[in-house]
Amino acid sequence: MYCYIWEFRVDAEHDAEFRAAYGDAGEWVALFRRDPHYIRTELLRDGDDPWRYLTIDYWTSREACLSFRATFETEFESIDRKYEAITQRETPLGEFELI
């Protein structure tokens, strides 16, 4: 299994919109679910900093995730542009294999 982790810094006025977009019922997960190799997404909120979040997206393999990105590139980029204004910062923290 493969996952990647992103850190987000969210403006207070966009917090609810961010959680709706990036949570389990959000637009990102709806797109990911179109691929049979997608497993799940976890949205984590920092207990000490309420405007800091992590997302962890799980796939069956790195190759499956890359294939998804190639297949759904247009939709992915469209959603990314749509929500970039609601975050102060997006930082990739890494790609990992579960062992």
> Tens digit of pLDDT for each residue in 39-51?
999 999 999 999 9
What pTM value is reported for the model? 0.92
Cα torsion angle, 71, 74, 75, 79, sign = positive
Structure tokens at 48: 């000490």
Residue 47 has what pLDDT? 96
Q: For the chain, what is the mean pLDDT?
A: 96
For residues 70-99, average pLDDT: 94
CATH (domain of 59): 3.30.70.100
Q: How far apart are CA 89 and CA 66, in angstroms?
A: 23
- Domain range holding 45? 2-97
The count of other CB atoms within 10 Å of the CB of residue 1 is: 13
Q: How many domains does the chain have?
A: 1
Q: How far apart are CA 48 and CA 40, in angstroms?
A: 25
Residue 91 parent element (H or E):
strand 87-97
Residue 48 has what pLDDT? 97
